[in-house]
Each structure stands twice: as structure tokens, then as C-alpha cells.
Amino acid sequence: MRPFPTLQAGALLAALAVALGAFGAHALRARLSPDMLANFETGARYLMYAALALIALGSQVSRARGPLCLLTGALIFCGSLLILALTGRTWLGAVTPIGGALMIGGFVLAALDARAAAPSSS
């Protein structure tokens, strides 16, 4: 992802995370079990973490692989938790770690890209 689309994706995910957090706190508190509400809150919280990381990466990283991996992972990880909480489809719990692994991979790739882009001190 180029810097501008990465910033856009991060900003949109941040807006979505705030909206989901408010929705969970106000509309879902009385409708979901404590466990499902915790899943929903975790999904919204990690969506914000990914959003902030994408905003930071969008202004620093020129390669696409880290941000793209992070975005894909966030959509899978957070999306599966949010859908699990809303629908109770427990099979989504098997998908969640794939998204988490992609998010971790995205952060690692971003670190490697930043290291490769750093000026040499020799």
C-alpha cells in the first residue's frame, strides 16, 4: 500500500473502531452475554490498534507488504471476533488466530521494511 491509501485505511478503521466501541457499550451491553460482549470489545479494541498502526505506517513506510498484511489480519481477526459475538457462530473462533498471525506478521514485515529503509551508518 502506498502511504496515502494506508493513511486512508487507518483513518477509516479508526472511525469504525470508535463506532463499534460505542455500539457495543450502548446497544449490546444488555443483549450479549458477558463472554460475547468481551469478544466484541476485544475486536473493536484491536481494530483501533491496527488503525493507529496503519496511520503511523502510512507516514513512514514506502513498502506495501507490512501494512497490507496488517490490514488483512485486522479484518480477519477483528471481523471474526465481532461476527462471533453478534451471531454466536463458534466456528469463527478457528479463523481468529489466522488473522492474529497475519497482524503479527504485518508488524514484523513493517519492522523489517523500516530497517531496510534506514540510512546506512557506514
In a domain, 30, yes or no: yes
Percentage of the chain modeled with pLDDT above 90: 76
> How is residue 67 annotated by DSSP?
H
- pLDDT value of position 114: 81
- Report the chain's mean pLDDT, rounded to a whole number: 91
Radius of gyration from C-alpha coordinates of the chain? 16
In a domain, 122, yes or no: no
Q: What total of structural domains would you count in the chain?
A: 1
In a domain, 120, yes or no: no
In a domain, 73, yes or no: yes
In a domain, 121, yes or no: no
- pLDDT value of position 108: 95
- pLDDT value of position 106: 95
In a domain, 98, yes or no: yes
**Domain range holding 69?**
3-115
In a domain, 78, yes or no: yes
Does residue 2 have a pLDDT over 60? no
Provide mean pLDDT across the span 76-104: 96
Does residue 60 have a pLDDT over 80? no
